[in-house]
Amino acid sequence: MERLLRYRVFFLAIMTTILVHPHGITSQDSTSFPTIGKVVRHQDLINDIIPLDAEIEFLAPGFEWSEGPLWIQDTGGSYLMFSDIPRNSVMKWEEGVGISLFMKPSGYTGITDYGREPGSNGLALDLQGHIIFCEHGDRRISRLEKGGGKKTLVDSYKGKRLNSPNDAVVKSNGDIYFTDPPYGLPQGHRDPRRELDFCGVFRLSTSGELTLLTKEMTRPNGIAFSPDEEVLYVSQSDSKNAIIKAFPVKSDGTLGSAEVLHDFAGLMGEYPGGPDGLKVDQHGNLFATGPGGVHIITPEGNLLGRIHTGKRTSNCAWGDDGSVLYMTVDDYVCRIKTKTKGARWRNL
């Protein structure tokens, strides 16, 4: 009975703060948000990263599978964008305004059904402030042009279509590094439409050249650079080998031999979810989604703690002044304030 009462109080608090309307549009009172979860602190060093009084704020519900958060700050204002993959949409959340639809379709422009995850996944910004899309259904990396149209940057490797680009990071020279697992294909890795027999990590140079960097990972997913860009981190969302690998980046932009930075095996199955998206702060700490939430890991691979959402957590992104971590958590979006900032944080 007590547990049920707590649930009802929590539900009412959410609905008081966020009024959901048809088509995902919401109105919002942003002065006070409900809170969820907790911060699990394994080592004291985490207290220098996440304040002791920090809370996970529940911002908006009602999505099928939220992914790819990206903070936008331009002349049009500041807001969070993120993908709702099953609904083939990109949503926009703005403080004091709430949720609105930014784009539909976002990742699939065909005329027939294309499985349960047709939309865009990871989102990124290039050096000119264009939005980069990892598109599942259209199996490409695309760019939103200033006039509103989309341009295909790459959709094939050596004449064979990509699987379903998942996540991307833009290097300081403008090159786009991205992962290409089969999750967006209607039948996954067994889909007859699949043309590549591996899941790659690729680099798309500013000249348009596509380079396969590695195909050693079974399910490459989240991707991020260390602050000095000398290391590329790639998470592997394989339940049988749930890890994060660290690849040294060579002077020509290709990758050296990887080491396993962190292994989630001990927590797989104990909490919902697994390794997915990740980001890095200015000190090189990884904020990596994994079982139960976002795991904070040092560049040496030591686990400092976990932002425990208690649900499958897909990805995260820095926002506001670079110190607020926004998280896409299954069917909702939340955030937490930190004492650090995102690596190479810049305001556009």
How many domains is the chain partitioned into structurally?
1
Examine residue 213 and state whether it is found in any structural domain, yes or no.
yes
Whether 346 is covered by a domain: the verdict is no
Residue 37 is assigned to a structural domain of this protein: yes
Whether 141 maps to a domain, the answer reads: yes
Please report whether residue 309 resides in a domain.
Answer: yes
The residue among 114, 273, 134, 276 whose CA lies nearest residue 191 is 114
Tokens representing 26?
């919401």
Q: Which of 227, 224, 279, 213 is nearest to 246 (CA)?
A: 224
CB 13 within 8 A of CB 36: no
CA 184 to centroid of chain Cα atoms:
15
pLDDT tens, the chain, 348 aa long: 444 444 443 444 444 444 444 344 555 655 689 999 999 999 999 999 999 999 999 999 999 999 999 999 987 789 999 999 999 999 999 999 999 999 999 999 999 999 999 999 999 999 999 999 999 999 999 999 988 899 999 999 999 999 999 999 999 999 999 999 999 999 999 999 999 999 999 999 999 999 999 999 999 999 999 999 999 999 999 999 999 999 999 999 999 999 999 999 999 999 999 999 999 999 999 999 999 999 999 999 999 999 999 999 999 999 999 999 999 999 999 999 999 999 988 743
Give the CATH number for residue 115.
2.120.10.30
What's the pTM? 0.92
Residue 348 lies in a domain: no
The answer to the question of residue 344 being in a domain is no
Instruction: Give the domain extent around 198.
Output: 2-337
- Is 345 domain-assigned? no
Q: Report how far residue 101's alpha carbon sits from residue 169's, in angstroms, rounded to the nearest whole number.
A: 24
